[in-house]
């Protein structure tokens, strides 16, 4: 818990140093609808009872723009703004 609090304090301190112009520049580059570096993630979850719909969605997927995630914890750890997760379902701990 203390490490988490320390990280929060450090992040707040860094945010306080952020200039308005820097924030606007970041927003324009990464968040704005037509931003050149904007990326999105779309997730579809299918139950075992909907395997036909799943197969149809896979067949119709736009292959060059899709990526199937098989390791959600690895994916989350790879994201620069996401805290590191260890464990698996039911055993998740924060680094």
Q: 28 and 4 share a domain?
A: yes
**Given this model, what pLDDT does residue 25 score?**
93
56-68 tens-digit pLDDT = 887 877 665 666 7
Q: Which two tokens stand for residue 80?
A: 């620069």
Q: 52 and 75 share a domain?
A: yes
Contact criterion met (CB below 8 Å) for 85 and 77: yes
Whether the model pTM is above 0.75:
no
> What b/e string do you get for 67-88 counting C-beta neighbours within 10 Å, with b at 16 or more?
eeeeeeeeeeeeeeeeeebeee
List per-residue pLDDT tens for the chain, 95 residues long.
667 677 888 888 888 898 999 989 998 998 888 888 887 776 777 787 888 888 888 787 766 566 677 887 777 777 655 554 455 555 545 44
**Given this model, what pLDDT does residue 79 score?**
66
Q: 8 and 25 share a domain?
A: yes
C-alpha separations of 67 from 12, 32, 43, 64 in Å: 34, 23, 10, 8
Q: 10 and 49 share a domain?
A: no
Structural domain of residue 6, as residue ranges?
A: 1-39
Say how many domains are in the chain.
2
């Amino acid at each position: 818990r203390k490490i988490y609090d320390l990280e929060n304090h450090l992040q707040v301190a860094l945010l306080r140093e952020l200039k308005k112009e820097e924030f606007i520049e970041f927003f324009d580059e990464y968040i704005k609808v037509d931003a050149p570096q904007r990326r999105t993630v779309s997730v579809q979850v299918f139950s075992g009872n909907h395997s036909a719909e799943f197969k149809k969605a896979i067949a119709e997927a736009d292959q060059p723009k899709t990526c199937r995630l098989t390791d959600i914890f690895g994916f989350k750890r790879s994201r620069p703004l996401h805290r590191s997760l260890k464990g698996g379902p039911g055993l998740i701990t924060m680094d």
